[in-house]
Amino acid sequence: MAGLRYAGMVLLVIAATMAMTEARTIVVGGSENWRFGYNYTDWALKSSPVSISDKLVFKFDAPHNVYLLPNLYSYLKCDFKGAKLLAGAPEGTEEGFEVVLDQWRLYYFASSNDKDCSDGLMKFFAMPLPHWK
Ligand SMILES: *[C@@H]1O[C@H](CO)[C@@H](O)[C@H](O)[C@H]1NC(C)=O
């Protein structure tokens, strides 16, 4: 019984947390934008959790870009085989390029230019949580 009550309370807290999250617009990297050498893994950790229907905005200049990588392996290896180009220059300038996280899945993002992904740390993943609505 005590276990059940505890589980119920945890569910309630989760529900309350989810209900409070309105769709947000999040600039990737904050004031650092999408650039070589900023730690986006760290940024993503600090910016989590994100929710389904949140919008990510990538602001960048050439030669950087935004790819969606197909899986964890390609993400870890910075392997762009089978990756999907979402935006190149000049789409990142001014208002930036927007991606709506509209699915409950893992999104692997990276920039493909030269060593952007491997040495420049221009990669992160996001797993948006569903809204409680
Ligand atoms: C980037 O941040 C992550 C998470 O905080 C950390 O594990 C990693 O070592 C950092 N990478 C570099 C190159 O600083």
Instruction: Give 19-72 pLDDT, tens digit per residue.
Output: 555 899 999 999 999 999 999 999 999 999 999 999 999 999 999 999 999 999
Q: Which residues contact 113 (CB under 8 A, 6 or more apart)?
A: 63, 64, 65
Q: Which residue has the tokens 């992160």?
A: 124
Per-residue confidence at 86, pLDDT binned at 50, 70, 90?
very high
Whether the predicted pLDDT of 79 surpasses 80: yes
Say if ligand 1 is within 6 A of residue 48 CB.
no
Q: Was domain 23-126 assigned CATH 2.60.40.420?
A: yes
Instruction: Please state, in angstroms and as integers, the Cα–Cα distance from residue 33 to each residue in 56, 60, 75, 84, 132, following that order.
Output: 11, 6, 20, 21, 30
Tell me the whole-structure pTM to 2 decimals: 0.84
User: Which mutation among 32, 39, 48, 117 tests ligand 1's pocket best, with the greatest number of atoms within 8 A of CB?
Assistant: 39
pLDDT at 15: 55
What number is the average pLDDT over the span 3-21?
Answer: 55
Phi-psi map region of 94: left, alpha, beta (phi>0 left; psi -120 to 50 alpha) = left
Q: Whose CA is nearest to atom 7 of ligand 1?
A: 42
Alpha helices in 21-125 (DSSP H): 40-47, 72-77
Measure 37 CA to ligand 1 centroid, in angstroms. Answer: 11
Which sequence spans correspond to the domains of the chain? 23-126
Q: Which residues contact 3 (CB under 8 A, 6 or more apart)?
A: none
Whether the predicted pLDDT of 102 surpasses 90: yes
